[in-house]
Structure 1
């Protein structure tokens, strides 16, 4: 064995995270000042004093095996004794490869077992936070007592939202960040995705960050600020990855989820960038019988970050359609976002991906004008069902349902596609063939939410819609 590694700010911060202590508790444990510990977090490359080297050596040596294991994982070290350099330790390049392979293994687990893992993760939370038996969470303040027509919802803008408390760069997040080069981990989770397992669609676009929800008075007020897509992923994907590691080890408990524990209240919108997607159940209503049918998308994991399952159609991020500052105000509109997604996912039109410089001119877009006219006439009725969280990543979705009369649907979507850049449009399950979609009935809804790989927020949205079907389909 060679000499013990020198203690730097990064190694000291890793020990604090491994001990699962706050800065204050860690400082008390070492007999140091809180300001000193905070400095280590801010200056990861600084070499600590000789006296503090001895204190930290002693603290690590007296810690248990679980602390040593977490310490090694945070630093990305595969050696059995992470404190010392050993002649038997793998070459630096081998350590990097092992770290990245372990990361990819967890990503495969999230793709293949994500829905079941979400259900197991949801079991960690209080039962009254669950939406029925779905692996999705919400609270009464986020769920209106009945569907709210989109006309009754006001969106407000906060020009200077507070910075989120967590960003995905905290010491507790480092177990989810593989090595990029010897001794250097990726700075954030999206960097790891981009270099190690990039889907076809992966751009850091501007997104709307949810800051407040209020359903009082039978109407709705939602407040938003500006964020980016990666701000959301850098926290949400760390939460999911951490759960995946714990699940693979057979110990999915709060004790093994330090980053989720650090987050605290999942419904505190100041804790992280909560950039919601919009998940829409599209119901084609037969005006003769009053019955409905709907559609699914079988997502392609090579195209999107969370693939290989069904989702409702359409679904997408709530974000501006261009990089123009004018789009921030013009596109702060749930309906416009939904119409763009309809055009992309059901008609195969080019995506307004947020990378262009020209805002969408909705007044001259024929499809938008037709959709807006049908909505004005009452033939299209969009509702908001509430805001929900995927229990695994804690990503949010605005659950919506759009009811479209059959003759209007058949005209607007007569050129409906069977595939789009995100996957395959599904109109039936098994051998049953239908051009009008899956029946919106108890048998189909039960099958989807209990036996089919339907994504968490989609399952919750479908469940909420089925519960409120009388209002949606005007059955009273």
Structure 2
């Protein structure tokens, strides 16, 4: 019910057009989420005048036919675009924010190109043109069975020296008003260019890797703490390396990039928070034939690598819940891969950090565990690298699944998920199939790294 006590017709209008709440939100722009539409339909809050007009357009009716009572709307947290339209009145502030949006748009449209430029700043660490760089000893001599990797958490680790509040990082922030800039890059994203998925959550940060053990060390961080460092690095390079039309403006050096120069050694994990994502190349194996899946990331939904192809599953290394039992169980690379597999390919609800621990003994988790125990599924770590553009950590893994197990799971694969769409075709895991994708420039650095290393070690992974 509405605050006025009268129901609205939003649900009926949506059902009449066979639209989901997400599809309605997509048509209203990036500042509107599925949750906004749900709350409007339940009458918990009314949409603003702007979104009433937009809803009428989507449903093809007059505003009066929405059934939303007139009158002053109660105070509520509004979508960021509405909020900023109120506060960014001065043309100088608007010009600053528009310049920031333009650079960010160019950044998101040129991430592959910019990753190659960034990799050129670290020539001794480049990983074969993937847009990744790897520190000394970060890539093992051969794939490592994931079960052999020991994870260590250091709760007493010192905080990183850099956190995104530095003067050099502030150069990438737009004006919030005439007298101040935005305090953090994440605040600017939230208010000026919010993707559909943008929430601060606990995560683990990488401290180091040692393949002689093999061993990885981690400490605590949060998603926004890392974004406040890695997105200004990318923004700075986009601003310097691209002209106003998004064309190359020369090859910058570290002298031209004060924040990147301040970061210094990219493999010094004590200097800045290094948030690792776990990216997994999933290969279906049927005798001598092998093929793999890719995921197209929706630029309206994600803060980074929107529009690019990525291996699937892929996700930040973080627990499913903040409950102690979940944190203990989820401090495991395989459990993270399983959750991302269930969310991105099977459409299961995302474990957003606030619910109960995941029951790994049931559903697809149990299926994957049984297949792994029976030797019908193998999962290996190919190494650890950094996206040269953002200096985000990437744990590169590959999962090879026997055809019968894969096909049984594939019956329930979704076409779309919260982060984008599953590419319908399966790509052949052949030299030609891998090379065409790598040469296209459409694969995100982590995905390119997984493909490059998996092909290098194909005889080990597919004996």
Structure 1 length as normaliser, TM-score? 0.76
Per-residue CA shift, 1:359-383, capped at 9, x if unaligned?
Answer: 11222x2211111111111111010
Aligned to 1:407: 404
* Map 1:17-28 → 2, pairs under 5 A: none
- Partner SS for 2:183: coil
Per-residue CA shift, 1:167-222, capped at 9, x if unaligned?
Answer: 01000111111111111111111111000000000010110111121101xx5111
- Report the number of matched residues: 369
Deviation at 1:457, TM superposition (A): 1.5
- 1:262 correspondence with 2:262: yes
Aligned to 1:100: 97
- 1:176 correspondence with 2:179: no
Q: Is the 8 A contact 1:298 1:425 kept in 2?
A: yes
Q: Distance in 2 between matches of 1:463 and 1:109?
A: 27
Q: Distance in 2 between matches of 1:112 and 1:409?
A: 34
Q: Distance in 2 between matches of 1:133 and 1:235?
A: 24
Aligned to 2:227: 233
Q: 1:292 aligns with which of 290, 293, 307?
A: 290
Q: 1:444 aligns with which of 433, 436, 452?
A: 433
Per-residue CA shift, 1:71-129, capped at 9, x if unaligned?
Answer: xxxxxxxxxxxxxxxxxxxx982221111011001111011111111111211222x31
- In structure 2, stretches of 5+ residues that fail to align are 1-87, 244-248
Aligned to 1:358: 356
Aligned to 2:461: 472
Q: Distance in 1 between matches of 2:242 and 2:89?
A: 25
The more displaced of 326-335 and 391-400 is 326-335
Per-residue CA shift, 1:416-435, capped at 9, x if unaligned?
Answer: 1111111111143xxxxxxx
Aligned to 1:395: 392
Aligned-residue Cα RMSD (Å) equals 1.4
- 1:302 correspondence with 2:293: no
- Partner SS for 2:446: helix
- Partner SS for 1:142: coil
Deviation at 1:255, TM superposition (A): 2.0
Q: 2:443 aligns with which of 443, 451, 454?
A: 454
Per-residue CA shift, 1:326-365, capped at 9, x if unaligned?
Answer: 32211101111100111111111111122x23211222x2
* Map 1:37-436 → 2, pairs under 5 A: 93-126=90-123, 128-216=124-212, 219-249=213-243, 250-251=249-250, 252-286=252-286, 288-289=287-288, 291-306=289-304, 307-354=306-353, 356-363=354-361, 365-428=362-425
Deviation at 1:444, TM superposition (A): 1.1
Q: Distance in 1 between matches of 2:256 and 2:97?
A: 20
Q: Distance in 1 between matches of 2:163 and 2:258?
A: 15
Deviation at 1:225, TM superposition (A): 1.1
Q: Distance in 2 between matches of 1:311 and 1:111?
A: 15
Aligned to 1:25: none
The more displaced of 449-458 and 273-282 is 449-458
Q: Distance in 2 between matches of 1:376 and 1:92?
A: 61
Q: Is the 8 A contact 1:427 1:438 kept in 2?
A: no
Q: Distance in 1 between matches of 2:308 and 2:182?
A: 28
Which runs of 4 or more aligned residues in structure 1 lie more than 3 Å from their structure 2 counterparts after TM superposition?
Answer: none
Q: Is the 8 A contact 1:294 1:427 kept in 2?
A: no
- Partner SS for 1:151: helix
- Partner SS for 2:156: coil
Q: Is the 8 A contact 2:320 2:326 kept in 1?
A: yes
- Partner SS for 1:180: strand
Q: Is the 8 A contact 1:311 1:458 kept in 2?
A: yes
Aligned to 1:67: none
- In structure 1, stretches of 5+ residues that fail to align are 1-90, 429-436
Q: Is the 8 A contact 1:115 1:455 kept in 2?
A: yes
Q: Distance in 1 between matches of 2:439 and 2:221?
A: 35
Q: Distance in 1 between matches of 2:180 and 2:173?
A: 10
* Larger of the two Rg values belongs to structure: 1
